[in-house]
Structure formats: structure tokens, C-alpha cells
Structure 1
Amino acid sequence: MIDAHHHLWDLSAVHYPWLAAKGATRFFGDPTPIQRNYLLSEFRKDAAPHGISGSVHIQVGAQDALAEATWVQGVSDAAADWPMAQVVFCDLTAPDLARQLDQFQALSTVRGVRQIVGRAPGEDARTGTNALLDDPAFLAGLREVGARGLSFDLQLIPELMEKTAQVLAKAEETPVALCHAGSPHDRSPDGLRSWSGQLRALADLPQVVCKLSGLGMFQHNWREADFRPIIETCLDQFGASRCMFGSNFPVDSLYSDYSTLFAAHRNLVPEPDRGDVFGATVQRFYQL
């Protein structure tokens, strides 16, 4: 079984501005408890007791993306018994995109790129990341990523799904992993219905798979039943062969321990679908 979405950090090796900021509450909550090293050894202690035996590391806002990727490569090289792929940050609109991708692809663990399109409505209004969707260079970058055999990790909010689907349809050779089930931030019945309707635009694109991850970020005091409509909708729209489990640790450790999180997902995924969701889908997608 493979965890398809987690982070690691050594604060003495790589600088993460958002993580170093004190007293800054984010859309996912107060990061104070995770403003410390979170290394592979601790992640393995969290995940391995549940049968997890490999993982996918996702970039997490380092000041220097190549430094982060190089550090992750070193972590992987030092743990031959733990298969690990990584998704790096790269600005797909950068004039020197090809040079940057060449550097990343020199690292054997690199499988894909993430550039966040949307985090949460309030933060997006300040950062302007949604503007990527209107930039022709972003579409060109998506196509370049796919042409190189890399994938794209897509993080966004439901309000952007239909517009994003129109962009992705023009880069049909680029495999896309939808992070956090598309971040359904409004958990009211109306909010979930709206998310489900907009999710269909992405589910209809065959190159898109869906991560069942980060579901606690917008509902901190969650109970297992709160995840049911999200997981059931994703399985219905994408099918188990296009869904994968990700812990989003240590961010989601702000709301629960790994055991509780894993058990909730396992209980809500029907037994016939577990082989795909907890292993086969991520192995195929990230070539692990």
C-alpha cells in the first residue's frame, strides 16, 4: 500500500517561509504544532503499522524548489527499503521552464510537478494564483510537462473546476492528479452538491485521477461520517481505478492521528475497491 500525498521537512536543511512564520493562521488552521522537523523516520512510524510501505512526497512551499527536491532525493536514496516518488514545484509560466525541468528530471525520484491554482477563497483573493488559468504560458507549460512524461498535481477549489477542465482538455497528454478531492471547503448540503456538480467536469477527463486526501483541512473536528459523501462521490465519478488515498501528513496531523485518518478512509472505501485506492492506482500513476 502506498500513501499518495504527504510532506517531509527538515527545517535546518530547507527553508519554508510559510512554516517559519509565527502567529500566521492559514486556511487549514494554526500551523504552530507542525513548525518542527517531520522526517521520514517519523512518517514511517505513523504509516507503516497500517501496511503502508511506500509513498509520494509532494512539494510544500520551500523557498528554493530545487533545494527541496534535492533534499527529498537524498532522503529517498538513504532509505532503499522505502520506495518514494516526489512531485516538485515549478512555475509552468517561467521563461526558463525547460531548464528547470531538466534539473528536476536529473533526480530519479521526480515524477511530476505541482503549481497550486487555488487553496481557499480568502487566500486566493490575496495571492491571485487563480490567474494562472488565463495565462497561455500555463497551458504551454502543462503540455511541456506531459511531453516529458511527467504528471501535474492539481490543487484548486470547486469554483475553478469547470474553467480548469477547459484548460486541461487542451493538454490531454498530461496526466493530472486532483489533490484533496478538489478541496470541498463548503461542507453544507448545498456546498457538497455544488462541489459534486463541478467535480464532474474534471472526472469526465480521462487523464485526471483523484486523491482522497486533505479532507480535514476545511473541517477540523471531523468524524468519519463527514467524509462519507466526499469519498462516495469521488468513487462514483472517477471509479476506484482513478482514486488514491493520501494522508496529507503532517498537515492533517493537526486534526487527527494517522491511525484515525487511515481507518476512516479504509472503512468508507468498499472492500473490492481498496486494492486500487490504497495501492494500485498510485503505483500506476506515479510509476512506483
Structure 2
Amino acid sequence: MRIDAHHHLWDLSAVTYPWLMEKGVARFFGDPSPIQRNYLLPEFRADAEAEGFGASVHIQVGAADPWAEAQWVQSVADQFPDWPLVQVAFCDLTADDLDKQLDRLQTLPSVRGVRQIIGRAPGEDAITGTNTLLEDPKFLAGLKQLGSRGLSFDLQLLPELMEMTADVLSQGSETRIALCHAGSPHDRTAQGLQRWADGLMTLSNLPQVCCKLSGLGMFDYNWSAESVSPIVATCLSQFGAGRCMFGSNFPVDSLSSTYKEVVSMHQELVPASNQDDVFHGTAKRFYRFE
């Protein structure tokens, strides 16, 4: 049974997503118009099952009310018990009522961890200011609290922030970290990929960090197996297959590829001897599938 370690679902009548409902605004990952509609488990599941997947990890995706989103995802997991679905919910690790928020999230059986985005894309980060989380001592304290509760942290950031982030993570080594989208290598020039690989090393040197092979089409809409081969190879070399896992990033990556194409390109690039870990074992261990 393969596990898709990174995807999203949404029901626009049940949960409000401001970014998704905003019309006519291009994002760093492309024009969101084709995905500004309901994307529910049966549709995702049909594509995933066709490629041998039988379980998945839902990642929070910018709801106006993160608790409403987490409850809705739990309701989906409850509705489809034959599809093992766990989730990574949003929580502000710098919040004064962090204890209360985490207590509430942990009443939901599907919750395995938290994501609070540190970096999305250079232009958008300049507006949102999320990069400043790394400088807030409350963020490190919250990160440590996740570890003490058995919760993981999904880390989305840019290569420019990797070294600073590694310094923070090294102080909270009990918390398991999943690096989203291979660290978002947005500069695909030879020099840009070298800077990314150098930054990635500061994270891969930390044993609590795993890496997701996901979202590789967000910064290159015409990506191919050949174009992302150096990225996949570097991740496997630095982390090893036992700390790498596949994620489709659907439906966001459906803007540039079909589900089958995403899976096929990763299959082509991941050596056969590594595929059990990348498509199953790492995600099963990290997200604690039973």
C-alpha cells in the first residue's frame, strides 16, 4: 500500500479559504482558477488508487478558521474509514493560548502534526512577513512543545532560510520535522540549485528531519523527470530513502500535471531499491499509520 504524504482537500461550502476564493489573482504556483472548486476525497482517491495508493496525509491549506478545517478533515476520515487519512493541521506556535489550541487539536484522532508556513515564495513572503517566525522565541518554545506531545512539524520554507531554520531546529531536536516540497528550490539555475543543496545540507544533517519529494512543479510549470532529476537525486543522497517520502501536492500540482504523471516521474527517478521507503515506509513511520 502506497501512502501519499502530502495533499489537500477542500469543500468550499463547508470551510472558507480566502486565498482560494480570491478571483483573478495569480499565485507563485500559477493561476489557481482551475482548482477554485470543491476537491473532495472520492476524486483524489480515484486518481491515487489507480497508482497503487491506499492511504494519505492531508496538509492544512490556509483556511480562515483552521479549527473548522481540522474538524472537517476529521469528518472526512470518519466518513471513509476504508481510506486511512491522517492530517497535519494549522496552529500558530507563537500564540498565547498554544496549550489550549493543541489540546483541542489532539481531541481529533487523525491529527499527527502541525504546519505553520515559514516561507512560500520570495514575492509573497515579502508581503506576509512569515519569515520573522524564526526570530521569535515563542516559535522555538512551541516547536519543543510539539515534540513533548508526540506531534510533528511540517516545515515549508525557502532555501534562503534553511541555515537559520537549522539553527532553530537543532535546539528542539525532540520534534520530528517533515520538510515540505524538498525545501522549495525556486531558483532552478545551476547556481541556484547549488545554493539550495548547500542549504539543504544544514537540514539533512539533523536526524529528526525527513524530506518530502513533493511540489516540484510549483516553481517550474513545465517540469519533467529530467529537469527535476538533480533535485530528487540530491534529496536521496543527503537524507537517504529512509528519510524521504513522496507527496503529490494535489490538487495544486494538477495545474501542471496529472496525478499519473507526477507519480510516474517520481517512479522514474527513485531507484527501485528505494521505492518501498519513498512511497510507503517513511510516511508510515513518520505519520504513525497503524
Task: Report the counterpart of residue 32 of structure 2 in structure 1.
Answer: 31
Taking the aligned partners of 1:50 and 1:20, their CA distance within structure 2 comes to 30
**Residue correspondences, number:** 288
Task: Report the counterpart of residue 2 of structure 1 in structure 2.
Answer: 3
C-alpha displacement of 1:207: 0.2
Taking the aligned partners of 2:58 and 2:269, their CA distance within structure 1 comes to 24
SS of residue matched to 1:18: helix
Taking the aligned partners of 1:125 and 1:66, their CA distance within structure 2 comes to 27
SS of residue matched to 1:205: coil
SS of residue matched to 2:12: coil
Indicate whether 1:147 and 2:144 are aligned: no
Q: What pairs up with 1:226-241 in 2 under 5 angstroms?
A: 226-241=227-242
C-alpha displacement of 1:225: 0.4
Task: Report the counterpart of residue 160 of structure 1 in structure 2.
Answer: 161
Taking the aligned partners of 2:128 and 2:77, their CA distance within structure 1 comes to 32
Taking the aligned partners of 1:155 and 1:4, their CA distance within structure 2 comes to 14
Task: Report the counterpart of residue 44 of structure 1 in structure 2.
Answer: 45
Taking the aligned partners of 2:69 and 2:187, their CA distance within structure 1 comes to 32
Per-residue CA deviations over 1:12-53 (Å, capped at 9, x if unaligned) read 000000000001111111100000000000001111111000
Taking the aligned partners of 2:269 and 2:8, their CA distance within structure 1 comes to 24
Task: Report the counterpart of residue 194 of structure 1 in structure 2.
Answer: 195
SS of residue matched to 2:26: coil
Letter in 1 for 2:281: A
Taking the aligned partners of 2:170 and 2:262, their CA distance within structure 1 comes to 33
C-alpha displacement of 1:111: 0.2
- Mind listing any 5+ residue stretches in structure 2 that lack a counterpart? none
C-alpha displacement of 1:224: 1.3
Letter in 1 for 2:11: D
Indicate whether 1:92 and 2:83 are aligned: no
C-alpha displacement of 1:240: 0.1
Task: Report the counterpart of residue 136 of structure 1 in structure 2.
Answer: 137
State the TM-score, normalized to the length of structure 2: 0.99
State the TM-score, normalized to the length of structure 1: 1.00
Taking the aligned partners of 2:68 and 2:76, their CA distance within structure 1 comes to 12
Task: Report the counterpart of residue 53 of structure 1 in structure 2.
Answer: 54
Identity %: 66
C-alpha displacement of 1:56: 0.1
SS of residue matched to 2:53: coil
Task: Report the counterpart of residue 104 of structure 1 in structure 2.
Answer: 105
Taking the aligned partners of 2:224 and 2:155, their CA distance within structure 1 comes to 26
Task: Report the counterpart of residue 247 of structure 1 in structure 2.
Answer: 248
Task: Report the counterpart of residue 281 of structure 2 in structure 1.
Answer: 280
C-alpha displacement of 1:179: 0.1
Taking the aligned partners of 1:237 and 1:42, their CA distance within structure 2 comes to 34
Taking the aligned partners of 2:229 and 2:191, their CA distance within structure 1 comes to 16
C-alpha displacement of 1:54: 0.2
Taking the aligned partners of 1:48 and 1:252, their CA distance within structure 2 comes to 17
Task: Report the counterpart of residue 258 of structure 1 in structure 2.
Answer: 259
Taking the aligned partners of 1:85 and 1:44, their CA distance within structure 2 comes to 14
C-alpha displacement of 1:222: 1.0
Taking the aligned partners of 2:241 and 2:38, their CA distance within structure 1 comes to 34
Task: Report the counterpart of residue 18 of structure 2 in structure 1.
Answer: 17
- Mind listing any 5+ residue stretches in structure 1 that lack a counterpart? none
Taking the aligned partners of 2:35 and 2:51, their CA distance within structure 1 comes to 22
- Structure 1 segments, 4+ long, off by >2 Å, are none
Taking the aligned partners of 2:3 and 2:189, their CA distance within structure 1 comes to 31
Q: What pairs up with 1:111-122 in 2 under 5 angstroms?
A: 111-122=112-123
SS of residue matched to 1:15: coil
Task: Report the counterpart of residue 217 of structure 1 in structure 2.
Answer: 218
Per-residue CA deviations over 1:140-177 (Å, capped at 9, x if unaligned) read 00001111000000000000000000000000000000
Taking the aligned partners of 1:86 and 1:150, their CA distance within structure 2 comes to 11
SS of residue matched to 1:116: coil
Taking the aligned partners of 1:23 and 1:108, their CA distance within structure 2 comes to 37
